Amino acid sequence: MKSKFRWLLLLTIECFLFTVTTARAQPAPTGELHVVVSHLRNDNGRIACSLFNEPNGFPRDESKEFRAVQATIQGSTAVCDFKNIPAGQYAVTVLHDENLNGKMDFNRLGIPTKGYGFSNDAKAIVRPPSFDAARIDFNGIGVRDVPIKIVYWTKSL
């Protein structure tokens, strides 16, 4: 009887460990953020898209970006696809890098000379919007469209 009990106990433990191991081996679901940038004033340069997954560093600190993508412009529109994105909270910034120098340029008054935008079309009044204003809650499943309209403060280069 003892041997039957011992065998049953071992079998139960093995089944439990297999179930726990299998459950842990399953990857978390991931999806895609499909950023569509519109209202570009021309097709010059490229679009730089930055994805942040926390307020720290948003929107300017490139070292705090979760992911970054660059896209070409066609017909005053560009698309940045962020693939394999797990569930979480995110915010997107976009920059129309017309002169391809990889940064935002400002005039003598400190006004941006390039187009920019944020998820939720969050507004930059005096300073960039907060992470919460631009925040996207993503469940990590499927494709989530993120439309962003570019804003310009100055005339074309």
Report the C-alpha gap between 130 and 60 in whole angstroms.
11
Q: What is the pLDDT of residue 125?
A: 84
- Entry pTM: 0.80
Nearest alpha carbon to residue 122 among 136, 112, 110, 109: 136
Q: What is the pLDDT of residue 135?
A: 98
Q: How many residues in total does the chain contain?
A: 157
Report the C-alpha gap between 46 and 51 in whole angstroms.
16
Residue 6 pLDDT more than 90? Answer: no
Residue 24 pLDDT more than 90? Answer: no
Q: Maximum Cα–Cα distance for the chain, whole Å?
A: 90
Look at 152 and 110; give whichever has higher pLDDT. 152
Q: What is the mean pLDDT of the chain?
A: 87
What is the residue-wise DSSP string for 59-118? Answer: TT-GGG-SEEEEE--BTTBEEEEEEEEESEEEEEEEEEETT-SSS--B-TTS-B-SEEEE
Q: What is the pLDDT of residue 20?
A: 46
And the tokens for 62? 């490139």
Confidence of residue 38 (pLDDT cuts 50, 70, 90): very high
Domains and CATH numbers, the chain: 30-149 (2.60.40)
Q: What is the pLDDT of residue 9?
A: 45
Contact in structure between 37 and 152 (CB atoms under 8 Å)? no
Look at 28 and 141; give whichever has higher pLDDT. 141
pLDDT in tens, 52-86: 999 999 999 999 999 999 999 999 999 999 999 99
Report the C-alpha gap between 156 and 149 in whole angstroms.
16
Q: What is the pLDDT of residue 10?
A: 47
Q: How many Cβ atoms from other residues are within 10 Å of residue 24's Cβ?
A: 7
